[in-house]
């Protein structure tokens, strides 16, 4: 993960929970253990706090806000862990892609 993103205090931890019979990712403040809420940015914390707390959760999340855009690409890596050729070509068009 690029340092530029790590420097933004918009991190949380998440864990899978069942809601209405479906498995969903629920976000938590890594410092307090209370729910992290996207409409309350102060419930998200710095990257190191999320890393320190992740053992009690299923993963680390990031609040997409403040001019940051995210495109979620599924199945974009080959079996060796390298970015597939088609995605490499697309990423070259965006110089600040991480």
pTM above the 0.85 mark? no
Domain that holds residue 49: 3-92
Q: What is the total count of domains within the chain?
A: 1
pLDDT tens, 2-33?
Answer: 898 999 999 999 999 999 999 999 999 999 99
Whether 97 maps to a domain, the answer reads: no
- Whether residue 98 is contained in a domain is answered as no
* Segment 33-77, tens digit of pLDDT: 999 999 999 999 999 999 999 999 999 999 998 888 887 778 888
Domain-embedded: residue 30? yes
Cα–Cα distance for residue pair 62/64, rounded to 1 Å: 6
Residue 14 lies in a domain: yes
Distance CA(47)–CA(3), nearest Å, equals 10
Identify whether 19 is part of a domain: yes
**H-type alpha helices, 1-97:** 3-6, 47-53, 85-92
Instruction: Please tell me the distance from the alpha carbon of residue 28 to that of residue 92, in angstroms, as a whole number.
Output: 34
């Amino acid at each position: 993960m690029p340092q530029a993103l790590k420097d933004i205090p918009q991190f949380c931890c998440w864990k899978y929970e069942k809601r209405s019979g479906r498995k969903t990712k629920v976000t938590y403040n890594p410092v307090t253990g209370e729910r992290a809420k996207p409409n309350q940015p102060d419930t998200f914390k710095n990257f190191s706090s999320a890393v320190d707390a992740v053992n009690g959760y299923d993963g680390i999340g990031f609040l997409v806000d403040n001019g940051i855009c995210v495109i979620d690409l599924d199945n974009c890596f080959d079996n060796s862990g390298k970015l597939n050729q088609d995605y490499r070509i697309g990423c070259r068009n965006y110089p600040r892609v991480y």
